[in-house]
Structure 1
Amino acid sequence: MRDEAPRAVTAICRALQEQLEHGLLGPGSQLPAERKLSELFSTTRITLREALGQLEAQGLIYREERRGWFVSPPRLAYNPLVRSHFHAMVGEQGRVPATEVLAARLLPASAEICALLELPACSSALQIRRARRIDGRLVLYVEHYLNPQYFPGLLDFDLTLSLTDLYASQYGIRYGRVRFDMLPTALPVEAAAALKVAVGSPALRITRINRDQHGRLIDCDIEYWRHDALRVSVEVPE
Structure 2
Amino acid sequence: MRDEASRPLNAICAALQEQIEHGLLPQGSKLPAERKLSELFATTRITLREALGQLEARGLIYREERRGWFVSPPRLLYNPLLRSHFHAMVAAQGRTPATEVLGARLIPASVEICELLELPALSSVYQIRRVRRIDERLVLYVEHYLNPAYFPGIIDFDLTCSLTELYASEYGIRYGRVRFDMVPTALHPEAAAPLKVTTGSSALRITRINRDQHGRLIDCDLEFWRHDAIQVSVEVPE
- Please, what TM-score do these two structures have when normalized by structure 2? 0.99
* Residue pair 1:5, 1:47 contacting (<8 A) in 2 also: no
1:88-127 matches, within 5 Å, as 88-127=88-127
The residue type paired with residue 175 of structure 1 is Y
Number of the residue aligned with 1:226: 226
1:57: which partner in 2? 57
Q: CA RMSD in A?
A: 0.6
**SS at structure 1 position matched to 2:197:** coil
1:20 Cα deviation from its structure 2 partner: 0.5
Quote how far apart the aligned CAs of 1:4 are.
2.7
- Match of 1:150, SS state, is coil
Q: Supply the distance in 1 between the matched residues of 2:190 and 2:145 (Cα, whole angstroms).
A: 16
Unpaired stretches in structure 1, ≥5 consecutive residues: none
Q: Count how many residue pairs are aligned between Structure 1 and Structure 2.
A: 238
- Aligned-pair identity in percent equals 82
* Mapping 1:61-100, distance limit 5 Å: 61-100=61-100
What is the CA–CA distance in structure 2 between the aligned matches of 1:31 and 1:65, rounded to whole Å? 14
**What's the CA shift for 1:6?**
1.2
CA–CA distance in structure 1, aligned partners of residues 151 and 221 of structure 2? 15
1:180-225 per-residue CA deviation (whole Å, 9 max, x = no partner) reads 0000111110100010000001000000000000000000000000
Deviations 1:15-37 (A, max 9, x none): 00110011000011000111111
Unaligned runs of 5+ in 2: none
Runs of 4+ aligned residues of structure 1 deviating over 2 Å after TM superposition are 1-5
User: What's the offset of the Cα at 1:5?
Assistant: 2.5
**Cα offset for 1:3?**
2.8
1:39 aligned counterpart, secondary structure: helix
TM-score, normalization by structure 1? 0.99
- What's the CA shift string for 1:139-187, capped at 9, x where partnerless? 0000000000000010110000000000000000000000000001111
Aligned twin of 2:201: 201
Q: Which residue of 2 aligns with 1:174?
A: 174
Per-residue CA distance 1:37-75 (angstroms, 9 max, x = gap): 111111111111110000000000000101110000000
